């Protein structure tokens, strides 16, 4: 019971922290999604000089731990005489990681469009930009939304890394309360409950909306969904479309 | 570059140790979770579902804090940073791997399950001799992917003070203020350490597709 009364004292501060967490999630998405789409388009570009740097960025963004990227921005940028607040550093780092992961999702979406559609565009003499804008992207968006939502939930959890550069988000609040009161169990459990409740609610909503997909919340990276000849529920969306 | 590398190399054993030990914990605990989740009795299924969902719904760093500062700092239990990291990451990845195992079990054709029942094989023999050998091959590529993810997540252990690559890079940066260089090398080091897992995944994929073509 004593834990409940302690939680009442912590709650206002924690909700402030949750606000920062959600803000960081939103800003990272605002930075990362357009960049991710740009990288996906660049990865599909015919010219090597465009394609290779994009592939390199995506591979580095997905291959290096998000925490290392965060430290790189936080400790590295001041060397270039760019001193930004820890929130901005976290948003840049998480935005870059978001871009790398979503670039892969966007690329899969674009690749899921049947080749015939693109050939038809060329036969009609549409320009490259019109082909993307009018034919490819409108169809790809529908394919990529479920995995993007799954990634958003991961990103929401991932913002807890910003603790390491002392952004005053949810986990930082819990930790600083704990270092005052020494109630590590009470504070960290409450933080875990807040993170967990929102993640679980989001996952439940997602599954209600797209019931056929495999569950998408995974710690860091999802293995690519693999087609499985014996069990049709494991078909990828693109395969289902091709049929 | 090479001086940075030699400094950060001090953290490689810890990073590899945390990754491998957590992976073993996850691989061992993930299988029973997957089997329980497939049970036809909801009373058996429900606890497994709850455990998997809760483990995945809370960020890894929060789990590590809870285990290290709360559960592992009592008078009875004193956990080292290494132990806390392995318990935390091992449990989280057990939840992830159980999904991979489940997909593997689902990939075994229904006829195989029915055949074991027709032969009246005891449950243990059914799994050990018929189902698992077929399921495990399917599971290897996603497991290798999760191993790479685990390698990257092991960096989080540096936040509770495990002396891994990331920890060494932070220490070094506080001395020489060369964040750009140090964390570039650290990032490349993680990417390089992930290569063997990627090769395993690709090799298993090749075996798998050959098998699918053969059948």
Q: Does A182 touch chain B (CB under 8 A)?
A: no
Judge contact between A97 and A58, C-beta under 8 A: no
Judge contact between B26 and B93, C-beta under 8 A: yes
- Give residue B206's pLDDT: 82
Partner B, chain A 100-129, Cβ-Cβ below 8 Å: none
- Of all residues in chain B, what percent carry a pLDDT higher than 70? 98
Average pLDDT of the residues in B126-147: 88
- Give residue A106's pLDDT: 94
Q: Does B159 touch chain A (CB under 8 A)?
A: yes
Domains contained in chain A, number: 1
User: Secondary structure of A192-237 in the HEC alphabet?
Assistant: HHHHHHHHHHHHHHHHHHCCCCCCCCCCCCCCCCCCCCCCHHHCCH
Average pLDDT of the residues in B175-193: 94
Q: Does A230 touch chain B (CB under 8 A)?
A: yes
Q: Hey, are the CB atoms on A67 and B166 less than 8 Å from each other?
A: yes
pLDDT tens profile B2-35: 888 888 999 999 999 999 999 999 999 999 999 9
Q: What is the mean pLDDT of each run of 10 residues along chain A (243 residues)?
A: 78 92 97 96 89 94 95 92 91 97 94 90 90 90 92 95 94 92 90 95 91 48 42 41 41
pLDDT tens profile B36-82: 998 889 999 999 999 999 999 999 999 999 999 998 888 888 899 99
Residues of A in contact with B158 (CB under 8 A): 67
- Give residue B212's pLDDT: 67
Give how far B192 is from chain A: nearest CA, Å. 9
Q: Hey, are the CB atoms on A79 and B180 less than 8 Å from each other?
A: yes
Q: Hey, are the CB atoms on A163 and B212 less than 8 Å from each other?
A: no
Residue A18's domain is classified under what CATH number?
1.10.3720.10
Q: Hey, are the CB atoms on A188 and B180 less than 8 Å from each other?
A: no
Please state, in angstroms and rounded to a whole number, the distance separating the CA atoms of residues A66 and A62: 8
Q: Hey, are the CB atoms on A220 and B99 less than 8 Å from each other?
A: no
- For B179, nearest residue in chain A (alpha carbons): A76
Instruction: Give the class (CATH, top level) of B2-214.
Output: mainly alpha
Instruction: Give the range of the structural domain holding residue A219, as residue numbers without chain letter.
Output: 2-242
- Give residue A174's pLDDT: 93
Q: Does A7 touch chain B (CB under 8 A)?
A: no
Q: Which is nearest to A131 in space by CA: A143, A145, A120, A142? A: A120
Q: Hey, are the CB atoms on A78 and B186 less than 8 Å from each other?
A: no
Give how far B124 is from chain A: nearest CA, Å. 24
Q: Is the pLDDT of residue B211 over 80?
A: no
| B103 alpha carbon, distance to own chain's centre | 16
């Amino acid at each position: 019971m004593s834990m409940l009364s302690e939680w009442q004292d912590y709650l206002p501060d924690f909700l402030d922290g949750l606000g920062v967490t959600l803000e960081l999630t939103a800003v990272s998405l605002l930075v990362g999604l357009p960049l991710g789409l740009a990288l996906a388009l660049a990865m599909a570009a015919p010219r090597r000089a465009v394609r290779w740097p994009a592939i390199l960025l995506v591979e580095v963004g997905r291959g290096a731990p998000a925490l290392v990227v965060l430290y790189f921005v936080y400790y590295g940028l001041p060397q270039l005489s760019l001193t930004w607040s820890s929130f901005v550093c976290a948003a840049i780092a998480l935005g870059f990681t978001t871009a790398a992961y979503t670039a892969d999702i966007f690329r899969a979406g674009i690749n899921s469009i049947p080749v015939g559609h693109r050939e038809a565009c060329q036969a009609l003499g549409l320009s490259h930009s019109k082909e993307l804008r009018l034919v490819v992207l409108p169809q790809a968006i529908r394919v990529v939304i479920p995995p993007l939502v799954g990634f958003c939930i991961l990103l929401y959890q991932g913002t807890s890394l910003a603790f390491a550069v002392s952004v005053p988000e949810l986990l930082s609040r819990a930790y600083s309360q704990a270092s005052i009161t020494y109630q590590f169990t009470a504070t960290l459990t409450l933080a875990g409950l807040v993170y967990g409740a929102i993640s679980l609610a989001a996952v439940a909503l997602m599954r209600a909306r797209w019931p056929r997909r495999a569950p998408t919340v995974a710690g860091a990276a999802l293995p690519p969904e693999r087609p499985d000849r014996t069990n049709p529920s494991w078909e990828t969306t693109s395969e289902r479309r091709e049929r | 570059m090479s001086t940075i590398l030699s400094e950060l190399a001090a953290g490689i054993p810890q990073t590899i140790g945390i990754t491998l030990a957590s992976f073993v914990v996850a691989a061992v605990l993930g299988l029973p979770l997957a089997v329980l989740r497939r049970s036809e009795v909801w009373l058996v299924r429900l606890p497994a579902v709850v455990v998997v969902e809760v483990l995945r719904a809370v960020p890894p760093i929060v789990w590590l804090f809870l285990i290290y500062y709360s559960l592992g700092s009592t008078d009875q239990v004193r956990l080292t940073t290494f132990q806390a990291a392995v318990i935390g990451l091992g449990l989280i990845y057990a939840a992830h791997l159980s999904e991979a195992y489940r997909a593997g079990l689902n990939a075994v054709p229904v006829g195989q399950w029915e055949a074991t029942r027709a032969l009246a094989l005891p449950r243990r023999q059914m799994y050990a001799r018929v189902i698992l050998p077929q399921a495990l091959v399917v599971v290897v590529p996603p497991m290798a992917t999760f191993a790479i993810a685990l390698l990257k997540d092991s960096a989080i252990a540096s936040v509770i003070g495990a002396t891994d690559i990331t920890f060494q890079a932070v220490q070094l940066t506080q001395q020489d203020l060369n964040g750009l260089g140090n964390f570039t090398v650290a990032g490349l080091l993680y990417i390089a350490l992930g290569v063997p897992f990627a090769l395993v995944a690709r090799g298993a994929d090749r075996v798998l597709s050959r098998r699918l073509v053969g059948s």
